[in-house]
Structure 1
Amino acid sequence: MMRIKFMSWILAVLLFSCTERDGYKELLESGDLLVQANEKLTDVIVHDIFSPPVASRIYAYPAIAAYEVAVLAGDDRYVSLMGQLNGSEPADFDACEECSYSLAALAAFYKVATQLVFSEQEMIAHREATYKKLKDEGMPKTLFQNSIALGEIVAEHILKYAGKDNYHQSRSFEKYTIKNDPGTWKPTPPAYMEGIEPHWNRIRPFALDSANQYLPALPTPFEIIPESEFFREAKEVMDAGINLTKEQKDIAYFWDCNPYKMNVKGHVMYAEKKITPGGHWVGIACIASKAAGLDWKATSETLAVTSIHLFDGFIACWDEKYRSILIRPETYINLYLDEDWLPLLQTPPFPEYTSGHSVISTAASHALTRLLGEPFPFLDSTEVKYGLAARSFNSFKEAADEAAISRFYGGIHYMPAIENGVEQGKMVADHISQRLVTRKDRLTASKE
């Protein structure tokens, strides 16, 4: 009897050990670890207070690196972006006989992301905790080392590509000079910050032929007479701000996404760190990937395609912002309608036209709809960690439309910036969908 019990115990231990040895496989098969890496990257971007355009760059390159590993994984469905993205060259990586491509994708993501942020140790600590979890789940040493090596090779290729996008050169470009023209943008309270990224149109886009390829309709001509259209648009913003419903306020706060929010108490001024608009949509892409049950390869595709749309959307939008350099509603209303009026949201430090959230939300929603379909009900919990309740949407388009109108409720945009921003986002998204292909079946369809 004792012998039977002893043998049963041995069998249980062996079974348990086998399960432990295989635990890493399940962890790596899903896209969860890649989602968690993206979530950590968002935390670091918020901590380091990167501007919305710069944040879009930080999201894009690590996601592209992870996706390029997915292309190598022996799945014939996926098509490399190298050779398709502007300025990129096709990559020829050696085959890895004994490696985990999903871990290699994570390694590529971590390496690129770490190079693009200030708080490198935060990303490194998260990476090491992830690696430890895989080792604890029984990942063989050789398999682990080979996978990391492959990921770092791919990462180096993407970092070399990123290094030629003119970003580093733009750090030494001249600052924006405020113009005396009364219709142009001026810094707003409480911080009166200088114009952010006035030369972002000189950053290399991923798919657009140029930053000014898709110009929106011209903004309404500046006027101060009460009978003018511009005066009417400004008064519309002011009146809406005075009569906001609770739901409209909730919408405005949910999509605020302003990493520059400054708080003033007496003589003390401090920043309230929040997610960027692009970070919000990367968060939605992560939520959608999990909701759809995507594996790590499809998750990497979703994050790469979404971030490319965000990046090019910011370039197109910022090109227009510093061409029209239009005055913000807060400045206009205080000068010509009501000197005491304040918008619900703090006015961001860059020109008004077009609405950045309208452009990039529309572009990202089109990317996600093409990948995951419509309708796609989801609970957007992206802002919960910033003290806001989650919101439900039936589709990505519905979420993008709410994000766009939120800028009107917030008092930081006139309606033309929103409406024409949505149209600009559509044009950017349509161009990218025609220019870039990530699946071979879509490549065949596009040729037909």
Structure 2
Amino acid sequence: MKSTVKTFAVFVLAFVLFEGCKPKNAYEKITHDPLLFTQMQHELNYVIIYDIFTPPVASRVFAYSNLAAYEVLANEGKHFESLQGKIKDLNNIPVPTAEQKKALDYPLAATVAFLKVGKALTFSQDKMQHITDSVLDVVKQSGIPDNMYTNSVAYGSAVADSIMAWSKKDNYAQTRGARFTVTNLDGHWEPTPPGYFDAVEPKWGTIRTVVMDSVWQIKAPGPIVYSNKPGSPFYQMAKQVYETGIHLDTTQKWIANFWDCNSFKLHVQGHLMFATKAMTPCGHWMEIVGTIAKDKNADFYKTVYSYTGVALGIFDAFIASWNAKYTYDLVRPETFINKYIDPNWKPYLQTPPFPEYNSAHSTISSASAAVLKTIYGNETPFRDSSERNWGWPDRTFPTLDSAAREVSMSRFYGGIHYLPSVWDAYAQGKEIGLLVMSKLLKKYKE
């Protein structure tokens, strides 16, 4: 999982020198290369993995970092407009000075803004600084005029500062250290094995939304009425999870593992306990964005546009899903099944430490798919290779919807969600993704 940005950047520089022997604008082959921005997303993703951020917190990092890059490019006015006035309290984004406009590389400024916000929002700032230094060192060697380099870095930094100032008003700081009180009432959530961890981010539903007017604008219908009586709809729903888990086939297990994205999985072997890290579900989708943008030969601007749309959709989707989780406080299948069906049953995947309804994986995946298919079309086949570092073979999808639906089913196969919960979440996320595109980003101007 080590950083590869320096090797990547040096490769790009060597390519430029070989192909053009420093033509007039050789630096643009680096600063305007969408693959460089995709690599920055990848590097940030792996810093997030290293720092073991929870999925909701990871979504915040991606949303604000990408928004900073987007706002830089919006001020150039070529392909999309600023989101000021469309997003709550987002205003006073700096515009380039008259002097800066004389020599300003907007893609370089966007990359600087992305990296600076990413650094500010992560713990491993030394790693983020190394990534930034590696990129800027290569840019300096590319023949970029000194004044253009200075102006671009200064402008990107100024936009990053404004986004960070805005981010501090989203109620995040006020939610740190919040604890959830377990009710011990039948049908409500309680800690699950093997770690019996406290509930994660119980106040995430109070974080300021970006695209939704409020967290209640697009809400899930709620779970079916709880009952532990055999034959009741709730009991039958839990039994469906139980029986499916007993009879999983090889493909279903593969699907469950491929989309697990458990950022901190606890392993217990006798008296030995250890944890492993993995991508968050939002990190997984950010990797998919890079794959599709590359497959579609998207330029730097459309690549940033795509990442920003997905990141904002995921951010609001997590807020909406987490609000539902702590509003309904529903028992996990593992707890219910162990109490009322089979005390020895275990889900195929490790149950995450928060209430069941609804499935955040489903919500953020359908939101991502809705954004991407608005940009590129639903008939967008792609090969997802993002799980190779964890030993899972690639999966190929004919459409974006097929991927989002598979994610939803993966949580049911894993035994950690009831079936209605994943489809309620899927519908909720789809609405959020469409709202992102209709209210904020609208149509990309080629």
Q: Scaled by the length of structure 1, what TM-score is found?
A: 0.92
Cα deviation, 1:385-433, whole Å, max 9, x if unaligned, reads 2221111111211110000010011110001101111111122223333
Secondary structure, in 3 states, of the residue corresponding to 1:436? helix
How much does 1:143 deviate? 2.0
Query: Which residues of structure 2 form unaligned runs of 5+?
Result: 1-16
1:387 and 2:387 aligned: no
2:93 is matched with 91
Contact 1:28 1:103 in 2 (8 A): yes
Secondary structure, in 3 states, of the residue corresponding to 1:375? coil
Cα deviation, 1:266-301, whole Å, max 9, x if unaligned, reads 323221100111111111111111111111111111
2:147 is matched with 142
Contact 1:68 1:80 in 2 (8 A): yes
Cα deviation, 1:203-246, whole Å, max 9, x if unaligned, reads 00001111122221221222111111111111111111111110
Give the one of 52, 58, 62 matched to 1:59: 62
Contact 1:309 1:367 in 2 (8 A): yes
Query: Which residues of structure 1 form unaligned runs of 5+?
Result: 1-13, 443-448
Give the one of 405, 409, 416 matched to 2:409: 405
Secondary structure, in 3 states, of the residue corresponding to 2:90? coil
1:291 and 2:311 aligned: no
Contact 2:94 2:158 in 1 (8 A): no
How much does 1:439 deviate? 4.1
Equivalent-residue separation in structure 2 for 1:182 and 1:74 (angstroms): 56
1:219 and 2:223 aligned: yes
Cα deviation, 1:184-211, whole Å, max 9, x if unaligned, reads 0111111111001110111000011111
Contact 1:225 1:231 in 2 (8 A): yes
1:68 and 2:51 aligned: no
1:249 and 2:243 aligned: no
1:228 and 2:232 aligned: yes
1:370 and 2:348 aligned: no
2:346 is matched with 342
Give the one of 42, 45, 56 matched to 2:45: 42
2:167 is matched with 162
User: Structure 1 runs of 4+ off > 6 angstroms?
Assistant: 14-17
Equivalent-residue separation in structure 1 for 2:427 and 2:417 (angstroms): 15
Equivalent-residue separation in structure 1 for 2:242 and 2:397 (angstroms): 28
Equivalent-residue separation in structure 1 for 2:303 and 2:20 (angstroms): 30
Task: Quote the RMSD (CA, aligned, Å).
Answer: 1.8
Relative to 1, partners in 2 of residues 1:129 and 1:221: Cα closer, same or farther, differing over 3 Å? same
Secondary structure, in 3 states, of the residue corresponding to 1:19? coil
1:102 is matched with 107
Relative to 1, partners in 2 of residues 1:266 and 1:15: Cα closer, same or farther, differing over 3 Å? closer
Give the one of 28, 32, 37 matched to 1:29: 32
Secondary structure, in 3 states, of the residue corresponding to 2:147? helix
Equivalent-residue separation in structure 1 for 2:166 and 2:180 (angstroms): 28
AA partner of residue 101 (structure 1)? Y
Which structure has the greater CA radius of gyration? 1
Equivalent-residue separation in structure 1 for 2:209 and 2:197 (angstroms): 26
How much does 1:90 deviate? 5.0
Equivalent-residue separation in structure 1 for 2:441 and 2:18 (angstroms): 45
Contact 1:79 1:440 in 2 (8 A): no
How much does 1:378 deviate? 0.8
AA partner of residue 314 (structure 1)? F
Cα deviation, 1:119-141, whole Å, max 9, x if unaligned, reads 01111101111112222333333
How much does 1:92 deviate? 4.4
Secondary structure, in 3 states, of the residue corresponding to 2:153? helix
Contact 1:330 1:342 in 2 (8 A): yes
AA partner of residue 82 (structure 2)? S
Please list, as runs of the form range in 1=range in 2, the aligned pairs for 1:13-24 lying within 5 A after superposition: 18-19=21-22, 22-24=25-27
Equivalent-residue separation in structure 1 for 2:165 and 2:377 (angstroms): 34
1:191 is matched with 195
Secondary structure, in 3 states, of the residue corresponding to 2:50? helix
Contact 2:32 2:108 in 1 (8 A): no
Cα deviation, 1:42-77, whole Å, max 9, x if unaligned, reads 1011111111111100000010010111112341x3
Equivalent-residue separation in structure 2 for 1:440 and 1:266 (angstroms): 55
Relative to 1, partners in 2 of residues 1:268 and 1:293: Cα closer, same or farther, differing over 3 Å? same
AA partner of residue 70 (structure 1)? L
2:315 is matched with 311
AA partner of residue 87 (structure 1)? D
Equivalent-residue separation in structure 1 for 2:389 and 2:444 (angstroms): 38
1:272 is matched with 276
Contact 1:68 1:81 in 2 (8 A): yes
Percent identity for Structure 1 against Structure 2: 40
Relative to 1, partners in 2 of residues 1:18 and 1:343: Cα closer, same or farther, differing over 3 Å? same
Relative to 1, partners in 2 of residues 1:145 and 1:347: Cα closer, same or farther, differing over 3 Å? same
Equivalent-residue separation in structure 1 for 2:201 and 2:133 (angstroms): 34
Contact 2:371 2:434 in 1 (8 A): no
2:12 is matched with none
How much does 1:372 deviate? 1.1
Contact 1:188 1:347 in 2 (8 A): yes
1:115 is matched with 120
